[in-house]
């Protein structure tokens, strides 16, 4: 076996071409997630011609498990690490999508999740970098990206090279959060931290990564998120769980937006008497969609009463959201337009790479 590549016993070298990471059934704003198939396919399916894929969320080629390696905690943060075979994925720069290919020296696709251990809330906008060390020596240090996948939801990931079978340590470096925090999150997550998580790269761990071919590949839909067990998932709150009054559910670029009106004590958490909050998530699985630019205009009786950018924020009830104070509140008959000048600046695995890019304005009436 070439120990610099991720090869399972039995000659399953096709794993190196995977394009979808390896939950819970989730989310408002979509149909039921596609059930995972029970029969493994015999041969590796070809990637579909791009023209045949929808400009939306579609079912990925594979259903994949992964090798979970462990969790640890430092200060205000907890982190978990797992890996699968190296993966193709797509990065975003503004509205431009670029493919990141698998390199010859890649051994694993390493994934990390960072969360608040007090509330089990995944923290989407903390800077994360990963170093892999062995016996105190640096083995690999690669860029790790915020990512979306149907099986893993929101996480950080990247392809890393290793020096053969053995014991390693993933050093997860977490930066402070540059994001408005409210309620119990106010004043937290300012300081950086480093969490070290040992992991093994050997035949026994690689055998945990299994793959099933999906015969619904390319159809509209998504596979179910995997059960994370020791780690939480970055799910947006369900419609019934959002505070305040849900005014509208709109879609753009196949993303789902729930707009909520808050007042009183809840709005006071944002130093406002009235607050417009927009919770964005993927269809089918309800995974939070972070790192967008979102703007809103409110017109009342032909007059513009609000026009500007929404602020990204993290709140114990709203979760990750986009919001702004609305002087005088929102009244019946108000016309609201939501715009997305910049789509989610997160990398995407197969099934998500064609969605959440071209995002036309959304409109609703209160």
Using CA atoms, how far apart are residues 334 and 249, in angstroms rounded to an integer?
A: 16
Given this model, what pLDDT does residue 41 score? 30
Instruction: Tell me which residue of 126, 260, 268, 120 sits closest to 183, measured CA to CA.
Output: 268
Whole-prediction pTM: 0.88
Q: Which residues make beta-bridge pairs with 151? A: none
How crowded is the C-beta side of 361, counted as CA atoms within 13 Å?
A: 10
> H or E stretch including 31?
none
Rg, C-alpha atoms of the chain: 21
Determine the pLDDT at residue 230.
84
**pLDDT for the residue 48:** 57
Tell me what pLDDT residue 350 has: 95
User: What is the distance between the alpha carbons of residues 248 and 366, in angstroms, rounded to a whole number?
Assistant: 8
In this structure, the chain runs to a length of 366
- Backbone dihedral angles phi then psi of residue 98, each to the nearest 5 degrees: -130, 140
For residue 196, count other CB atoms closer than 10 A to its CB.
14
Kindly report the backbone phi and psi dihedral angles of residue 315, in degrees, each rounded to the nearest multiple of 5, phi listed first: -135, 145
Domains of the chain (ranges; CATH) run: 13-213 (2.60.40.2480), 239-365 (2.60.40.2480)
Residues 344 and 289: beta-carbon distance below 8 Å: yes
Nearest CA to 170 among 105, 81, 286?
81
> How much is the pLDDT for 347?
98
> Mean pLDDT of successive 10-residue segments in the chain (366 residues)?
37 42 38 36 47 92 92 97 94 95 94 96 95 96 92 95 97 94 95 97 95 94 89 95 97 98 94 97 98 97 96 97 96 97 97 97 98
The two three-digit tokens of residue 256, written as one number: 């789902």
Please tell me the predicted confidence (pLDDT) of residue 208.
93
In the prediction, which pLDDT does 218 show?
Answer: 95
3-state secondary structure of 49: coil
Report the alpha-carbon angle 100-105-109, nearest 5: 55
């Amino acid at each position: 076996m070439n120990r610099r590549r991720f090869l399972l016993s039995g000659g399953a070298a096709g794993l190196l071409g995977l394009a979808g990471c390896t939950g819970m059934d989730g989310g408002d704003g979509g149909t039921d997630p596609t059930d995972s198939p029970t029969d493994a396919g015999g041969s590796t399916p070809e990637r579909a011609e791009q023209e045949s894929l929808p400009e939306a969320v579609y079912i990925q080629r594979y259903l994949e498990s992964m090798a979970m390696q462990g969790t640890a905690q430092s200060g205000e943060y907890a982190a978990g690490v797992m890996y699968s075979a190296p993966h193709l994925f797509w990065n975003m720069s503004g509205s431009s999508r670029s493919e990141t290919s698998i390199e010859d020296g890649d051994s694993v696709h390493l994934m990390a999740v960072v969360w608040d251990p007090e509330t089990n809330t995944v923290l989407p906008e903390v800077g994360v970098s990963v170093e892999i060390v062995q016996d105190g020596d640096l083995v690999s240090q690669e860029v790790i990206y915020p990512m979306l996948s149907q099986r893993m939801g929101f996480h950080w990931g990247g392809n890393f090279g290793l020096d053969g079978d053995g014991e390693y340590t993933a050093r997860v470096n977490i930066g402070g959060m540059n994001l408005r925090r409210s309620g119990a999150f106010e004043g937290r997550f300012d300081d950086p931290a480093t969490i070290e998580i040992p992991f093994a790269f050997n035949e026994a761990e690689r055998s945990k990564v299994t793959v099933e071919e999906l015969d619904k590949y390319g159809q509209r839909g998504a596979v179910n998120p995997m059960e994370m067990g020791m780690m939480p998932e970055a799910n947006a709150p369900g419609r019934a769980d959002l505070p305040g009054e849900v005014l509208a559910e709109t879609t753009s670029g196949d993303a789902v937006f729930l707009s909520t009106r808050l007042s009183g004590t809840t709005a006071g958490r944002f130093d406002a008497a009235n607050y417009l909050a927009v919770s964005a998530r993927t269809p089918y699985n309800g995974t939070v969609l972070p790192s967008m630019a979102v703007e809103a205009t409110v017109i009342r009786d032909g007059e513009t009463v609000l026009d500007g950018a929404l602020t990204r924020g993290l709140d114990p009830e709203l979760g990750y959201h986009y919001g702004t104070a609305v002087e005088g509140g929102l009244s019946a008959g108000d016309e609201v337009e939501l715009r997305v000048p910049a789509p989610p600046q997160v990398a995407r695995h197969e099934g998500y790479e064609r969605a959440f890019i071209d995002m036309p304005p959304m409109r609703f009436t209160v």
